[in-house]
Amino acid sequence: MIATIAIALSLTFPAPLAASPAPAAAPPARAAVRADLELPGTGGMKYREQAGDPVRLTAYGLGTRDTYLRNTTGNAFARQKALSEVSVAPGGRLAAGVPTAYRSGHDALLVTDRATGETTTIRTVKRPMTASYASWSRDGKKIALTVEQKVGGTWRVLGFAVVDVAAKTARTVRIAGLSANAGYWWSPDGHLVSRHGTGLRVHRASDGAVVRTYADAGPPTGPEDAFSPSGKRLATWCPKRIEEQLCLLDPATGKIAGRVGAAPRAVWGWWDDEHVIAVLAHEDAYRLAVLDLKGKVTRVLADVPARTWDADLWLSFVRTSPAS
């Protein structure tokens, strides 16, 4: 399905000149371009994008049933029927998708060059294990996946898999004693972070060895990158001892350095170093918004119908500006 895109142009013109010899013409004011992107399958959601935004919405979905990927040259999103999830690499050229079904008895990752359309299939884990929740490293060279298996009717996390995009290989690391809700995402320095009890653990990507523990710091907000663009803050859901819901951890000290006075239902990564992308309750529905670190909404990105949020809406962004 091709979405219909409404583009609104806002122009500012110079004031009229007084009746005097005309000076040289001033350059025209730059247009502030805004696009309301229709998101198919979401019950009428429109994402409000502006020129100069530090992030770009590149993919979204409803659970594992409906997955949509933005095209490379415009604002249309196309459904990816064979994929349960998809995410775009830093830089925007590559996309990694997890197929909806096993292939030859294995789970896999489909890495597509969006410029050429060429897709590489990389085997990850053997059935009945699954490898999903793809997280790109900041250099775009590797992808981390959370490995799970159903045990007694309940999904259990077994460890992680790391895909080397250039080598087209995947390596699985099992870790004992993980909680059911563990999940792996990259840190800016190339380690993997996961929930551990009421805090976080940082694992070495090569062998899973624990390199740091943030005890009782609250779980990461993931699955989008919970680290700020500069890496100086790590967003967590506050531990129970703290009244606020969203906390800001100093990764260098492991201490909670800030608390955000808001109650988001989800955080989908960072907008810039001073704002996060959050979903908040609004009237009888929800809003996707830019939230500053004091808890103030500085911009509304989309109105989210309640039925759409309840259908397990997820969003994936790619940064368009360098880290601050």
Report the pLDDT value the prediction gives residue 76, as an integer from 0 to 100.
95
- Asked if 317 contacts 269 with a C-beta cutoff of 8 angstroms, the reply is yes
pLDDT at 30: 39
98: Cβ contacts below 8 Å, ≥ 6 apart: 83, 84, 85, 86, 107, 108, 109, 110, 131, 132, 134, 145
Q: 310 CB contacts (<8 Å, ≥6 apart)?
A: none
Full-model pTM: 0.87
With 0-12 CB in 10 A as exposed, 13-18 as middle and 19+ as buried, what is 7? exposed
**Coil, strand or helix: which one is 63?**
coil
Q: Give the pLDDT score at 3.
A: 35
Q: Give the pLDDT confidence score for residue 31 in this predicted structure.
A: 39
pLDDT at 5: 30
Query: pLDDT tens digits for 74-103?
Result: 899 999 999 999 999 999 999 999 999 999
Q: Give CA 256 to chain center in angstroms.
A: 23
Q: What is the pLDDT of residue 323?
A: 53
List helix spans (H) across the chain: 306-310
For residues 223 and 185, the answer to whether their CB atoms sit within 8 Å is: yes
Residue 19's pLDDT is what? 36
Quick check: bond before 223 cis, omega within 30?
A: yes
DSSP label at residue 103: B
Long-range contact pairs involving 146-154 (C-beta distance under 8 Å, separation at least 24)? 146/182, 146/183, 146/184, 147/172, 147/174, 154/180
* Average pLDDT per 10 consecutive residues for the chain, totaling 324 residues: 30 31 39 81 96 96 95 92 97 96 96 95 98 97 97 93 98 91 93 94 96 93 90 95 95 95 96 98 97 98 98 96 56
pLDDT of residue 322: 59
Query: What is the maximum span of the chain, computed from C-alpha positions, in angstroms?
Result: 86
**Burial (CB count <10 Å: 0-12, 13-18, 19+), residue 97:** buried
Tokens of 173: 């690391």
